[in-house]
Amino acid sequence: MTDPNTPDQQHPLLANDDRTNLRRRWIEIEEGFVDDPADAIHRADDLIDNVIDRLRDAFGDRRATLRSQWETLDDATTEQMRGALHNYEQLFMELTELPAPSGWQNRERGGRPTAHGRPTFPPTDDSTQSDSDMGARS
């Protein structure tokens, strides 16, 4: 059992290789948008679904670790319980303070955020715009 008073090790939720692979896949999706916007949207949705599943698993694993630390503390001291609560607080803060990409804020103000040096396409108010019109925007 891990001592709840031991400072929580900061482990990234996704391994560096996983993050690199996911970013590479995102770039491929962006690059494929011009040739096939509908496919790019489907691939983006699939990728986001995959990332959400990975994060759910990672946070679930972290919670299970925290739970295992205090479930065996039947005769725990107040300090041990304080340490366990502190570890939960760290996880809570991670869950509630995930930053949104700065592009989201720019998009809300009508800006045109860029990702990886390439322009992204802000939402349009014209829902009748054709796929070919969207691909021509740059």
Model pLDDT for residues 113-134, shown as the tens digit of each residue: 444 444 444 455 544 444 444 4
Q: Please report whether residue 123 resides in a domain.
A: no
Q: What are phi and psi of 75, to 5 degrees?
A: -110, 40
Q: Please report whether residue 132 resides in a domain.
A: no
Rounded distance, CA 1 to CA 70, Å?
9
Q: Please report whether residue 133 resides in a domain.
A: no
Question: How many domains, the chain?
Answer: 1
According to the model, what pLDDT value does residue 137 have? 44
Distance, CA of 11 to chain centre? 15
Q: Please report whether residue 71 resides in a domain.
A: yes
Q: Please report whether residue 8 resides in a domain.
A: no
Q: Please report whether residue 134 resides in a domain.
A: no
Give residues with Cβ within 8 angstroms of 126, minimum separation 6.
none
Residue ranges making up the domain that contains 62: 16-118
Q: Please report whether residue 130 resides in a domain.
A: no
Contact 40, 58 (CB under 8 A): no
Q: Please report whether residue 5 resides in a domain.
A: no
Average pLDDT score, the chain: 74
Model pLDDT for residues 38-73, shown as the tens digit of each residue: 999 999 999 999 999 999 998 899 899 888 887 877
According to the model, what pLDDT value does residue 11 have? 53
Percent of the chain surpassing pLDDT 90: 30
Model pLDDT for residues 14-47, shown as the tens digit of each residue: 888 999 999 999 999 999 999 999 999 999 999 9
Cα within 13 Å of Cα(59), Cβ side: 14
